Amino acid sequence: MFGLKKSEKTASGETPEQTQERLDAEVSGAKKGPTPKRKDQVAARRRPLVSADRAQAKVNDRQRRAAEQEKIRIGMATGQEQYLLPRDRGPQRRFARNFVDRRTCLAEWFFPIVIVFFIVSIGFSGLLGIQGQAVATIAMYVVFLLVAIDMFITSRMLKRAILAKFGAPERGVIWYGTFRSMQMRFMRQPKAQVKRGESID
């Protein structure tokens, strides 16, 4: 009876509660409404762990994996250590690759020569005759011998270079470099990082 009831309004048409809220808003800034509850704020920030669009999620995952595989492929081709297979890792194997890649080896042309030999001997056997086939066979044996000699020279030179640089060759590194000399330069993996004749010291 001595004060205003909660339902009574002031002269401005506001209840005491509304007046207090308006004053608070003016002091703290333009407040649009009551402060949201904590659980409502958490719910608004929450995101689903699994995308609602499964088709788009699969597409994104496929693109991500493709990008990772491309990164690994480029890393392996360029000889980045973290992307190499265990057989290609290590300073001695890197040195062996560079040593072989800087040389011009007869063994590099072994497989192309063999392919040409078989094509000629089978496809043109009638034109060659017996004597022609005998000559082609002898020529093939000569190529085998020259390639064997070339690989032997490569292996000895590589061993001396590794001994001079590292003290002792790791197991399998000489054969690793020698076998690489039999591959065509553009087919080698990791790809050649030095030019022919370039110094690697």
pTM of the complete model: 0.62
Residue 122: inside a domain, yes or no? Answer: yes
- Domain assignment present for residue 146? The answer is yes
Number of domains in the chain: 2
pLDDT of residue 19: 66
Model confidence at 136, pLDDT cuts 50, 70, 90, reads: confident
Given this model, what pLDDT does residue 100 score? Answer: 94
Straight-line distance from the first to the last Cα atom of the chain, in angstroms, rounded to the nearest whole number: 104
Q: Name the band, by pLDDT with cuts 50, 70 and 90, for residue 93.
A: very high
Q: What per-residue confidence (pLDDT) applies to 44?
A: 64
Mean pLDDT over each residue of the chain, to the nearest integer: 80
The pLDDT of 76-89, averaged and rounded, is 82
Claim to verify: residue 162 and residue 101 sit in the same structural domain: yes
Q: Answer yes or no: is 5 within a domain.
A: no
Say whether both 175 and 105 belong to one domain.
Answer: yes
Range of the domain at 90: 86-187
In a domain, 56, yes or no: no
The verdict on residue 196 lying in a domain is no
Cβ atoms of residues 121 and 128 within 8 Å: yes
Residue with tokens 């990164």: 71
Q: pLDDT value at position 146?
A: 95
Distances (CA, A) of 149 to 136, 154, 199: 20, 9, 24
Tell whether 170 is covered by a domain.
Answer: yes
